[in-house]
Chain A
Amino acid sequence: MLLRGKSHKFGDDISTDHIAPGRLFHLRSNLPELAKHVLEDADPEFAKKVQPNDFVVGGKNFGLGSSREHAPTIIKLSGVSAVLAKSFARIFFRNAINVGLPVLICDTDKINAGDELEIDLSMGTIKNLTTGTKLTFSPLPDAMIRILNDGGLVAHIEKHGDFKLN
């Protein structure tokens, strides 16, 4: 699958409190409304700037903190087609796959804010159309590829009635 869009750059240690702040707890059952505040505490303008198919590009330990699945869910709802980072926090990574949001581990120092990227999910390559550089990302474990390909965990269970990971 080929994804194409613009990069939105963030720093290291973007927490789930940056993405879906605790003070908006009451909006958790109203995800479209919560999505209007996505990443608000890291970049208050982000929700207004982001276009469909864009990418969120972070540094190390992206998504650390709480287990709130609302964090990857609202990133996806905002139209973002993948999150790229040097490393991810464990629960965020797993949640992202479960909600069908691709998360790619790569050297994000080579990507600047606003760069146009083209990502080939099956080949594991990222083309930076702005700078002309090419990057690769580490492949996901098979179990996660299966869940992602089915469209997330709910769709996976709906399809198979159980876990079918190998």
Chain B
Amino acid sequence: MGKTLVEKIIAEHAGKEVSAGEIVIANVTVALVQDGTGPLAIKQLQKLNLEKVAHPERTVLFLDHSAPASRKELANDHMALRAFAAKTGAQLSDVGNGICHTVINEDYVNPGDLLIGADSHTCTGGALCAFSTGMGSTDVAIGMALGKTWLRVPETYKVNVTGKFPVGVYPKDLILHLIGMIGADGATYKSLEFGGPAIDNMAMEGRFTLANMAVEAGAKAGLIASDKITKAYLKKMGRVNKWREIKPDFDAEYERIIDIDVSTLKPIISYPHTVDNMRDIDQSVKDHIKVNQAFLGTCTNSRLSDWAIFSTIIKGKKLAPGVRLIAVPGSKKIEAELLKYGYLQAVMAFGGLILPPGCGPCVGVHGGILGDGENVIATQNRNFQGRMGNPAGNIYLASPATVAASAIAGYIADPREYTRVLRPLGTVPDPSKLPKKEVAKKAVRKRAPKTIRRRVVKKAAKARAFRPAKKVKAAKKRASRKR
């Protein structure tokens, strides 16, 4: 019997063939904790007198949720994590370096790895075809110290994605649609395996968005096969030598197959207070939902292409009065790119506020907390009551494009209204790919003087006028040949 992606990867780490349902002990390749879960993990190891890590070069402690620290208690937690890193040699990703799930995949995770993290969105690593799952502090603490963990090999739901993304529709809309379809507990204990032509053509950044939200359907992991696109990403990150192809077997056994044709999708909004509370944008526009705050950021949507889409839409526009926009790059690396390509500047010029790389307002620890009854449209992955610091606030989830459109309009708005500036997914120009000269030329090119333009127009009209004549000639020729 063929194997699914999780069965293949877990088998390598368990040192034997495995099948769904089995409980195994598996070696851990990469482990992470963050500033909300790390202090408890350290305490558990202290209790056990086991203050060590099995693989210091692949164990990473992140200061990202409250970064920089918003209270003395949290500053003290940060100190404890720094001290643990110094003592054990584990890696420290300090304040401002970025969100754990963004940085870990930029710098550490490779196809076939087994990653455990004390944060539920650790599943993001599935985009690189790693078995990557969230656990609690004690589980990860033991995994860090012993270099292994216990797992139940999950059954897999195959998500088969076909069709082409319509203009204004993005992977975020796809994953919100899927969760709305199967429910917030629709894949509990299962692994999701995303495949099909629409995934084969999807850029790495979109794949991260999908894998990131697997847990919002209750899944243990969300994986995508390792292919040429994975290879290109690893190359960009400077470790193409770590790439290898991993595909599920053609006869792998899936518990369920879910088919989605993305060409039928519209932009999706997730209403408060559960992620599966899904509506399409037509409904939201009718509901005329006022926006008090707009938020671009988090481990779901804070990468270069998210900012590129956002900047394209807001170009030349102004933030609606009464709306505050908070934008947070996912990592220091991304921030540098955004600066280079002018996206950071574009958002500032629009009226946005930029916070340092990290989780920002996502979890309600500091910055961007909502007032009673206020609405936020956000690119994050979760809209639970109280999530952003106030149980009386309302969180609406959407793609960066929808957030941009809504920030301009002041109420939840349809990004397809901006179809003139939007292009189909995958064709957002990656500035790093444009030859330097062209970038420079575009920047200084001005419109030609009016007289010249008129001449060009006349010429074009003449050419058009000629065409029918040519056609007539050709038709006559053909007719004579027939005779």
Contacts and interface: CB of A to CB of B under 8 A. Distances in A.
B218 A17 contact: no
Nearest to B44: A154
Given A22-B389, A60-B185, A66-B119, A91 B136 contact: yes
A69 B138 contact: yes
A29 B73 contact: yes
A65 B120 contact: yes
Contacts of A132: none
Contacts of A154: 44, 47-48, 138
B68 to A, nearest CB: 14
A27 interface: yes
B387 A67 contact: no
A6 B235 CA distance: 59
14 contacts: A22-B386, A25-B364, A25-B365, A28-B40, A29-B40, A60-B185, A67-B119, A69-B40, A69-B118, A69-B138, A70-B40, A90-B218, A99-B138, A154-B48
A23 B44 contact: no
Nearest to A61: B185
Contact of A69 (B37, B384, B385): B37
Interface string B128-159: 00000011111100100010101010000000
A87 interface: yes
A163 B136 contact: no
Interface of B: 23, 25, 36-37, 39-40, 44, 47-48, 50, 65-66, 70-71, 73-74, 76-77, 80, 117-120, 122, 134-139, 142, 146, 148, 150, 152, 184-185, 188-189, 215, 218, 220, 274, 363-365, 369, 382, 384-391
Nearest to B365: A25
A143 B137 contact: no
Contact of B385 (A17, A66, A142): A17
B185 A68 contact: no
A30 B40 contact: no
B461 to A, nearest CB: 63
Nearest to A99: B138
Nearest to B77: A29
Contacts of B385: 15, 17-18, 41
A25 B76 CA distance: 13
Nearest to A28: B36
A64 interface: yes
B36 A68 contact: yes
Given A22-B365, A22-B386, A65-B384, A143 B185 contact: no
Interface residues of A, number: 44
Contacts of B25: 163, 165
Leading 4 A-B pairs by shortest Cβ distance: A69-B136, A95-B136, A61-B185, A26-B73
A59 to B, nearest CB: 10
A68 B386 contact: no
B36 A25 contact: yes
B37 A67 contact: yes
A98 B139 CA distance: 8
A91 to B, nearest CB: 6
A90 B187 CA distance: 10
A13 B184 CA distance: 8
A25 B117 CA distance: 18
Given A22-B364, A154-B47, 14 more contacts: A22-B387, A25-B36, A29-B80, A41-B385, A66-B363, A69-B40, A87-B185, A89-B185, A91-B135, A143-B150, A154-B48, A158-B47, A165-B23, A166-B23
A99 B188 CA distance: 21
Contacts of A15: 384-385
A143 B23 contact: yes
A83 interface: no
A153 interface: yes
Given A29-B77, A163-B148, A64 B39 contact: no
A162 B142 CA distance: 9
A93 B391 CA distance: 24
A60 B65 CA distance: 29
A94 B48 CA distance: 20
A13 B73 contact: no
Nearest to B118: A67
